[in-house]
Amino acid sequence: MQESLYEKLGGRDSIEKVVDSFYEKVLADPVVNHFFEHTNMDKQRKHQTKFLSYALGGPNQYSGTSMAKVHENMNLQPEHFTAIVHHLKEALEEFRVPNEDINAAVKHVNTLRDDILYK
Ligand code: HEM
């Protein structure tokens, strides 16, 4: 199997550094930060880490049904999804991830879009 971007970036340790950057961007963005208002820091980091791990093809790849369930009653809209993807892109750019790999990560994340929106 082809090496995932997750492995290329060095697995869990490096992912955590990217998470720090992604986390700051998400929590500084009024378009999405209110969703995490009642989420404690630990859980937020967990979300950001799991999201990134998923995006980069790491362990914990989700099924559509489980993702629909997790985001139930949030009524997430396209602009929320777009904002999260934007922060993902910027965080990866900071770590000099090649554009080609960033595009692949965005494409992968987008496969869950319909499972997560409007639940
Ligand atoms: C492909 C896209 C996404 C994936 C793979 C994903 C993944 C996850 C996972 C695995 C959890 C459970 C975390 C845990 O407690 O262990 C979760 C919860 C959550 N997600 Fe996402 N997510 C995605 C998109 C989004 C978007 C676009 C938003 C909002 C802008 C969002 C907001 C949340 C919130 C608020 C929770 C609940 C956190 C809490 O426990 O309070 N997610 N997500």
- 30-59 pLDDT, tens digit per residue, is 999 999 999 988 888 888 888 988 998 888
Q: Residue 77: helix, strand or coil by DSSP?
A: coil
ipTM of the complex: 0.94
Does any ligand 1 atom lie closer than 6 A to the CB of residue 32?
yes
Q: Which atom of ligand 1 is nearest to 81's Cα?
A: 27
Does any ligand 1 atom lie closer than 6 A to the CB of residue 81?
yes
Candidates 22, 114, 4, 115; CA nearest to 59 is: 4
Query: What is the average pLDDT across 10-29?
Result: 88
pLDDT given at position 11? 75
Q: Which CATH architecture has domain 5-116?
A: Orthogonal Bundle (1.10)
Return the C-alpha torsion angle 90, 62, 44, 12, nearest 10: -70
> pLDDT, tens digit, for every residue of 88-112?
999 999 999 999 999 999 999 999 9
Whole-prediction pTM value?
0.92
Candidates 20, 13, 9; CA nearest to 55 is: 9
Best mutation site among 47, 50, 112 for ligand 1, i.e. most ligand atoms within 8 A of its Cβ?
Answer: 47
Contact 56, 6 (CB under 8 A): yes
pLDDT given at position 2? 67
